[in-house]
Structure 1
Amino acid sequence: MGKYIDISKSSGESFAAYLAEPAQGSGPGLVLLQEIFGINDYMRDMADRYAEEGYVVLVPDLFWRSGARQELGYDQAGFTRGLELRDELDEDLAVTDIGDTVTALRGLTNHVGGVGLIGYCLGGLLAYLSAVRFDVDCAISYYGVGVHDHLDAATELTVPVVFHLAELDSYCPEDARNSIRKAFDDNDQVRIYDYPGVDHAFATHGRDVFEPLSAGLAYSRTLEVLHATIGPRYDLSALWDRHIYYEFEARDVPATMATMVDEPYVNHIPTLTGGVGQKDLSRFYAHHFVHNNPADTKTIPISRTVGADRIVDEQLFCFTHDREIDWMLPGVAPTGRYVEIPLVAVVTLRGDKLYNEHIYWDQAGVLVQIGLLDPDGLPVAGIAQGRKLLDKALPSNELMPSWASSEGRPID
C-alpha cells in the first residue's frame, strides 16, 4: 500500500520515511516509531493497517545515520544487529528527526487535522519523549524500553498518552512499571494498561512472543484514544446498519461485500459457518446466506454497545423454518416451525468498513423450537429464551430443580 518519501532537515540532510495513505484520500496524521529492527515488514504492515483505519501514516527511518533503511528480521542476527544500532543511536537526534517527521506530515496535502504518535519498544520511549517536546495531540507507547529512566519529564506531559505494559517484560520489570504508574498517578490524561502473562513485544506479529488477544485489546484501546483526540470519527452504528440492510432487506451480495474490507471474515460460532477472505465470504453470502434466509425473517433490537472499533449488537432473531438455512441449520430440511432466538453479533470495523463478525446464539434453543431436540430432562429452553429476554418479569430458575429448596434459607 505504501511508498518511501524523503524527509528534509534544516541541516540540508534527509532521511527516508515509509508513507501509507488512506483510501478515503485524506485523514489525521500518525507517526509510527520503530522497534530496534528498523522499518521491517511489521512496521509497514502496521502503517498499512492504520491507513486502513483512515490515517495518513509516516514511519521515519531513525537509524539512517548508521545506514539508510536498515531492515532486520527477528532472528538472532537481526536481534544482535538491532542492539548495535540501538547503541549507536543518539536519542536527542532521533527525537529531532521525529519532530521533522511531524512537520513533514503536517505539510502533506492529504493530512487533515491532528497528529498522534505510536511507538513500539525503542519507539515506545521515543513516542513519550516526543510527546513532551513537540506539538502533537496524543502518544501511545507499547512496552517502551527506558521510559522509567526519563520520568523527570513526566510533569511536562500535557497531552493524552497511553502506556501498554507487559507483565513479563524483562526490559521493563515490575519496579520500573511501578515507577511509571507513580510518576503519572495524578495525571488524568495518562492511561496505563497492564497485560498479564505476556512478554515484551506481545503485539508484534511474526515474533514468538506475539499474543493475539492482548494485542487486539491494546489495539482497540489505542484506537479509542486516537479517535477521541484526532479522529477520524465514524458513525459505526450507521455503518453496521447499512451492512445489515444489504444482507437482509436488499439481499444484495456485491453491496454487502462493498461494506467490508478487502479481506474480511465472518464466523457463526455455533455452526462454524461463514468465510475468511473476499473469495470464500462472497461465495458464502451468495450461495449460503443472503438468499437462504426465510421470507419472514425479522430482528427485534434489544441493545447495542458501540466501542472504539467494534459493536456488540443484542437482538431477537425471528423466522419461520420454511427452507434449509445453511448457516444456522445446515443440512436440516424445512420443518415449518416458527423460531425466536436471542442472537449477539460482535462486529469489528477498520475505518469505515467491516473487518469481521462473530455471531453467537444458543443452538440447543433453536433445535428445541424446530423439534429436533427434546428438552425434557435437559437444562435447555426453546422459545422461552426470547420471551424472557423481552420480559424480565417472567419466572426465573425454572430449570433449576434445587431452586425451591433455597426458599427461606438464610443468606450468608
Structure 2
Amino acid sequence: MTGNFIDIVPREGGVVRAYVARPAQGSGPGLLLLHDASGLDAFVRSTADHFAEEGYVVLAPDLAGRAPRPGAGSIENFAAIADALRALPEQAGKIGVVGFGAGGRFAVHVAANTDIDCAAAYYPDDVDGCLADLPTIRCPMVIHFADAQQSEGFAKKPNIERHVYPGCRAGFAVPENPQHDKPAALMAYSRTLALLRKVLGPVFDLNHLWEQHCYFEFATRDVDSVMPTMVAEPYVNHVPTMTGGVGHDQLKRFYKYHFVDSNPSDTKLIPVSRTIGADRIVDEFVFCATHDREIDWLLPGLAPTGRYFEVPMLAVVRFRGDKLYNEHIYWDQASVLVQIGVLDPAGLPVAGRQTARKLIDETLPSNELMPNWASSEEKPI
C-alpha cells in the first residue's frame, strides 16, 4: 500500500505538505497523525500505512520546523488540517487524532479544545501542560506514558485511559530509536486501535475471517485460498517447535510443503473458548489426530508412530483490518511426546491425554503430579 502527498494551507500562511494513506476498502473514518516534528520520515509513513490497512483514511502533516504547540493559533491551524482531511473524498464518518511526543502533547490539547471524536497520545512531551488541559478534554482518549513520566494525575479520569510502560523511555514506539521497545509498542498499538474501533469504527467480523482461514487450512486444504486471507507479508510462529514462516514466500512454502498436507487425515479441532478483541482473537481448542505421517510443523523429524493424541492448543491471531497479520500457536509439546510414546513420563511432571480431558472436564482430579499435595491434607485453610 502506498500513499501520496498533498499541500495544505494553514491559517497562519505558508504551505504544509502532508502524507495521505488510504484504505484498500476505498473509504473509511479519518485519522490525523501528528509526530515529533521530524518530517515525513519512514516511521510516519509506515505508521500511516498501517492505520490505512486498519481501514482509516490517514493524513500526516509535515511538522518539521513548525512543531505544534498549544495555543489559539495552533488550534486554528489544526482546524485547517482537519478540514483538509474531511475534504478528502475517501473520508467518511468521524475523525480521530494520534500523536507522538510533541504531537502527543498537541493531541491532548486538540482533545480539550476541538470537536475531534477521539484521541491517542504517545509519551506527550509536556505532562504539566497536558494536566492543565484535563478539565476540558471533550472526547474519549488513551495516553501512553513512558516509565519516568509523572502521570499519576491522569489516573481514574473520565474518558481517559492511562497506560504506563515500565522500563520504557519516550520514543519506545519508533523502531529506529535506541529507546524502541517492541512488546510495549505492540501493546500500545493494540490499545490505541481498541479506542479507534470503539469510537470511529470500522468493525470487522474477525470471527468470520478466522473461521474462513481455518476452513481453507483444514477442510479444503487449499493453500492458494489461505494466502489471500492474510496481509501481503504475514508471519506464523508455532512457538514450541519454532516452525512457520515470515513473509509471503516463506509462509506459502511452509503451508504448501510442510503444513496443509502434513496434517493427518483424521485431524479434528474441538473448540473450547474464543475471545475476540479489537485486533486479535485468542482461540482455545483441542487438536486431535493420529500420528500416521510425519507432521513437520508439530513433530518434526519423528517417523509416524500410528498413535492417536489429543493436546490443548492456544492460538493468538492478530489482524490488520480484514486480513490476518500473524499467528502465535502454543501447546504442551511434552504431552504430545508422551502420547506418541517417545517420552517416558515416569518421574517427570508431565502428562499425556489427561491434559486435554482436564481442559474439557474441570471435575477431573487436580494436582496429581504434585507429590507434596497430600502434605496439606489436614492443614488449616
Which TM-score applies when normalising by structure 2?
A: 0.96
Cα separation, 2, equivalents of 1:362 and 1:227: 34
Cross-structure match for 2:326:
356
Cα separation, 1, equivalents of 2:39 and 2:72: 18
Cross-structure match for 1:398:
368
Q: Secondary structure at the match of 2:257?
A: helix
Cα separation, 2, equivalents of 1:192 and 1:148: 15
Cross-structure match for 2:111:
131
Cross-structure match for 2:145:
165
Equivalent residue pairs, number: 380
- 1:81-118: CA deviation from partner (whole Å, max 9, x where unpaired): xxxx65x9785444333211211111211111110100
Contact 1:99 1:130 in 2 (8 A): no
Contact 1:60 1:98 in 2 (8 A): no
Instruction: Confirm or deny that 1:322 pairs with 2:259.
Output: no
Give the deviation of 1:239 after TM superposition: 0.9
CA-based RMSD of the aligned residues comes to 1.7
Cα separation, 2, equivalents of 1:155 and 1:392: 49
Q: Label 1:403 to 1:131 Cα distance change in 2 as closer, same or farther (>3 A).
A: same
Give the deviation of 1:7 after TM superposition: 1.7
Give the deviation of 1:291 after TM superposition: 1.2
Cross-structure match for 1:296:
266
- 1:94-146: CA deviation from partner (whole Å, max 9, x where unpaired): 43332112111112111111101000000001111112222211000101111
Which amino acid in the other structure matches residue 340 of structure 1? E
Which amino acid in the other structure matches residue 233 of structure 1? V
Instruction: Confirm or deny that 1:99 pairs with 2:93.
Output: no
Instruction: Confirm or deny that 1:153 pairs with 2:133.
Output: yes
Contact 1:318 1:340 in 2 (8 A): yes
Q: Identity of paired residues, percent? A: 52
Q: Label 1:289 to 1:150 Cα distance change in 2 as closer, same or farther (>3 A).
A: closer
Which amino acid in the other structure matches residue 132 of structure 1? A
Cα separation, 1, equivalents of 2:135 and 2:234: 43
- 1:269-328: CA deviation from partner (whole Å, max 9, x where unpaired): 111100000010000000000111111101100011111111110000001111111000
Cross-structure match for 2:338:
368
- 1:347-402: CA deviation from partner (whole Å, max 9, x where unpaired): 11111111110000111100111110111111110111111111111111111112
Cross-structure match for 1:247:
217
Cross-structure match for 1:194:
164
More off after superposition, 143-152 vs 282-291: 143-152
Contact 1:148 1:180 in 2 (8 A): no
Instruction: Confirm or deny that 1:308 pairs with 2:309.
Output: no
Q: Secondary structure at the match of 1:251?
A: coil
Cross-structure match for 2:23:
22
Which amino acid in the other structure matches residue 148 of structure 1? D
Which amino acid in the other structure matches residue 394 of structure 1? L
Cross-structure match for 2:308:
338
Cross-structure match for 1:51:
52
Cα separation, 1, equivalents of 2:337 and 2:348: 13
Cα separation, 1, equivalents of 2:128 and 2:134: 10
Give the deviation of 1:147 after TM superposition: 3.8
Cα separation, 1, equivalents of 2:346 and 2:127: 61
Contact 2:70 2:109 in 1 (8 A): no
Q: Label 1:193 to 1:323 Cα distance change in 2 as closer, same or farther (>3 A).
A: same
Give the deviation of 1:405 after TM superposition: 1.9
Q: Secondary structure at the match of 1:290?
A: helix
Q: Label 1:12 to 1:35 Cα distance change in 2 as closer, same or farther (>3 A).
A: closer
The equivalent position to 2:196 in structure 1, one of 206, 210, 226, is 226
Cα separation, 2, equivalents of 1:36 and 1:100: 18
Cα separation, 1, equivalents of 2:152 and 2:328: 37
Contact 1:340 1:386 in 2 (8 A): yes
Cross-structure match for 1:210:
180
Which TM-score applies when normalising by structure 1?
A: 0.89
Cα separation, 2, equivalents of 1:150 and 1:202: 20
Alignment of 1:3-42 (within 5 A): 3-9=4-10, 13-42=14-43
